[in-house]
Structure 1
Amino acid sequence: MTTDGSVLSDHCTKAGDYLKFLHAWIRQPRQTASIVPSSPYLGRLMASQIDPQGGRVMEFGGGMGALTRQILATGLPADHLEVVEINESFARNLRRNFPGVTIIEAPAQSVLAASVGGAEGYQCVISGLPLLAMSKPLQQSILAEAFKLLRPGGSYIQFTYSPRAPLAASVARALDLGVERVGTIVRNVPPATVFRYRRNADMARG
């Protein structure tokens, strides 16, 4: 019996990604959302919120690139995507696997200065950060920074492993943000729900 080399390589890659995620989670559980990378199903749902001809996109928390891969699969040009990843090992892996994408090693709450697009230069911020594990002040700092990046009408897309919205209600009120549920993916470990945040003024316009 023969073994398909590409299948074996894919299994080895997935196993390696799992071990890297597990190691990162053990070292910094508040920086890493899960012990396993996001599934393609979750990535596709999040990426479906992007217009590939709609301008620049920022990803918060690139990890091993599971979501990055799905964002690029929409047809968004690689040079229109920037990925924020504070973990040095993950960032190095992202640069190797996505050479056309800008990788930014900076905290999400202070990324504006390092961004290519600048203030109001992005159609969408997509996040895999573990918001539920963060304090309210940190949540507010990250979302405030995200909405500095977003142009009018822009969206912040966030997944969470809880059925409830990941951003504290008091933080959403302070930033004048509304939230919509995009959908739930059960074919993910663990199951995940995707939410979209927008400025209340934008939501009122439809």
Structure 2
Amino acid sequence: MTINTPLDRKDKKDKNEKMLFLYKFFRAPKQIGSVTPSSRFLARKMVEAVPWPEIRYTAELGAGTGAITKFIHNARNHPGKFILFERDALLRGRLSQMYPDYTCYPDATQITNALQSEGIPHLDCILSGLPFFNFEQSVRDKLLEQILLSLRPGGWFVAFQYSFQMKKQLKEHFNIESINFVPYNIPPAFVYVCRKEQLSDLF
């Protein structure tokens, strides 16, 4: 008789998650952006950048298989709303099963509409795993417009990318607090920690 330990079940789940992610990458590489889910090192680096006691309303863009979602879920230590965005229908369905208390939307270019539906006045923090490098410039512009419209003044935008390609455009719209390199990820990634300008910054 074979006995599956919790560690065995976790390894099997991780393997299945990676296989699903790889399958989705080959089906839509521009949408997925990577051949494997984000590592725990990348997830931790993103989550530790956020001052969670100050955060009530949160969104994650490009939640995928939930590799970063679970770290955000564990870091949020007080009531508030957390909404997810994932274009792929299968991954979105899995996220809804894993996190039934969170609403998952298909289109990150419609953040403000989602906030209206949820009765959320603004977002305090947005974490993103979207592969901006793969998108047309018009899509990047639309995403950043929605992010800026939905974030409160002084709100946080934390995003990982695989290059410095987005640095110039992010700098045009945010104060970049730091850019952190995460070598233990496939591929290695940069975590951009950005803040929307506060009203006091404008005077």
Could you list the per-position Cα deviations for residues 111-162 of structure 1 after superposition, in whole angstroms to 9, with x for gaps in the alignment? 211222545x111110000011112221111011011110010121110122
Separation in structure 2 between the aligned mates of residue 21 and residue 78 of structure 1, nearest angstrom? 31
Structure 1: which 5+ residue stretches go unaligned?
A: none
Paired residue type of 1:124 = C
Separation in structure 2 between the aligned mates of residue 55 and residue 76 of structure 1, nearest angstrom? 10
Structure 1 residue 42, shift from structure 2 partner: 0.8
Cα RMSD of the aligned pairs, angstroms, is: 2.4
Separation in structure 2 between the aligned mates of residue 48 and residue 87 of structure 1, nearest angstrom? 27
Change beyond 3 A, Cα 1:172–1:137: farther
Separation in structure 2 between the aligned mates of residue 9 and residue 50 of structure 1, nearest angstrom? 31
Asked if the contact 1:139–1:167 (Cα under 8 Å) also holds between the matched residues in 2, the reply is: no
1:22 equivalent in structure 2: 22
Identical residues among aligned pairs (%): 24
Structure 1 residue 180, shift from structure 2 partner: 3.6
More relative contact order, 1 or 2 (CA 8 Å, 6+ apart): 2
Separation in structure 1 between the aligned mates of residue 50 and residue 66 of structure 2, nearest angstrom? 17
2:178 equivalent in structure 1: 181
2:168 equivalent in structure 1: 169
Change beyond 3 A, Cα 1:202–1:167: farther
1:159 equivalent in structure 2: 160
Structure 1 residue 172, shift from structure 2 partner: 4.8
TM-score, reference length from structure 2:
0.87
1:82 equivalent in structure 2: 83
Asked if the contact 2:157–2:196 (Cα under 8 Å) also holds between the matched residues in 1, the reply is: no
Asked if the contact 1:139–1:171 (Cα under 8 Å) also holds between the matched residues in 2, the reply is: no
The match for 2:191 among 175, 191, 194 is 194
TM-score, reference length from structure 1:
0.86
Could you list the per-position Cα deviations for residues 161-182 of structure 1 after superposition, in whole angstroms to 9, with x for gaps in the alignment? 22x1x42625753xx3332434
Structure 2: which 5+ residue stretches go unaligned?
A: none
Could you list the per-position Cα deviations for residues 61-84 of structure 1 after superposition, in whole angstroms to 9, with x for gaps in the alignment? 010001100001113457521110
Asked if the contact 2:151–2:196 (Cα under 8 Å) also holds between the matched residues in 1, the reply is: no
Could you list the per-position Cα deviations for residues 45-69 of structure 1 after superposition, in whole angstroms to 9, with x for gaps in the alignment? 1111333332111100010001100
SS at the partner of 2:25? Answer: helix
Asked if the contact 2:56–2:81 (Cα under 8 Å) also holds between the matched residues in 1, the reply is: yes
2:74 equivalent in structure 1: 73
Change beyond 3 A, Cα 1:117–1:62: farther
Asked if the contact 1:62–1:83 (Cα under 8 Å) also holds between the matched residues in 2, the reply is: yes
SS at the partner of 1:125? Answer: strand
